[in-house]
Amino acid sequence: MGILLEAAATEADASAAGGTFGFLSVIIVYALLIGAMWFFLMRPQSKEKKRVAAMLSTLAEGDSVLTTSGFYGTVISIEDGDTVIVEFGNNKNCRIPMEKSAISRVEKAGE
């Protein structure tokens, strides 16, 4: 009878240790999933934000731009902060102030 009690106690200790290991493995799996989500979703988004910020910081007068609404124009002047004046069309009368964030692509004047 003593041998059976010792075997049952040893088995209970092993299952308790396995339960702790099981919980730890679940935590590790969740950490890996969150890390993979960050790597595949958030990292490219932050790289794109940095690329757009660098593009807009090099914006100069005379550059050809494409707006987010699909209009092509030429930057006439850069106002304070985030405002630029863009000229659209050939008649030179259509000058619209807009935010820099509304510009999706920039082509330098000399290129």
Q: Rounded to an integer, what distance in angstroms lies between the CA atom of residue 109 and that of residue 111?
A: 6
**pLDDT (tens digit per residue) in 57-88:** 889 899 999 999 999 999 999 988 789 999 99
- Is the whole model's pTM more than 0.85, yes or no? no
Q: What is the dihedral of CA 27, 30, 36, 42, to 10 degrees?
A: -110
Condensed to tens digits (0 to 9), the pLDDT of residues 7-50 reads 444 554 545 555 677 889 999 999 999 999 988 988 888 999 99
Percent of residues, the chain, with pLDDT higher than 70: 81
User: Amino acid identity, residue 27?
Assistant: I
Hunting for tokens 């240790």 — which residue is that? Answer: 17
